[in-house]
């Protein structure tokens, strides 16, 4: 059964998982992991002293992703080798 709130349901197309919507502030585990890796890689290439605002923004984004990474157990099976990034996620 298709519900009108799902993308594609209005014209009878089947809804595939990639088309499902997440509520405000929610994202899938795969999306959280992809975002985390993107921000972490960018942080490694940024000089904190030269680009303090961008560095701080990436730190903030990584901290925002932490709950989703923990809920799905990603941080239980992944070792963060960059000490600065690991420090952001320590409890």
Give pLDDT, residue 21: 45
Residue spans of the chain under pLDDT 50? 1-9, 15-24
Q: 49, 58, 52, 53: which is closest to 85 by C-alpha?
A: 58
Give the pLDDT score at 26.
55
pLDDT score of 86:
93
Angle at 21 between CA 70 and CA 29, to 5 degrees: 20
Q: In this predicted structure, what is the pLDDT of residue 91? A: 62
pLDDT at 30: 85
- 43 closest CA partner among 61, 25, 31: 61
- Quote the CA–CA distance of 62 and 83 in Å, as a whole number: 14
Residue 12 pLDDT: 58
pTM of the model: 0.65
């Amino acid at each position: 059964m298709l519900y009108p709130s799902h993308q594609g349901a209005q014209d009878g197309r089947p809804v595939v998982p990639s088309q499902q919507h997440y509520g405000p502030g929610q994202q899938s585990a795969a999306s959280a992991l992809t975002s985390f890796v993107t921000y972490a890689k960018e942080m490694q290439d940024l000089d904190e002293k030269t680009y303090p605002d961008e560095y701080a923004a990436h730190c903030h984004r990584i901290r925002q992703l932490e709950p989703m990474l923990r809920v799905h157990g990603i941080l239980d099976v992944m070792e963060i080798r960059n000490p600065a990034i690991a420090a952001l996620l320590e409890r």
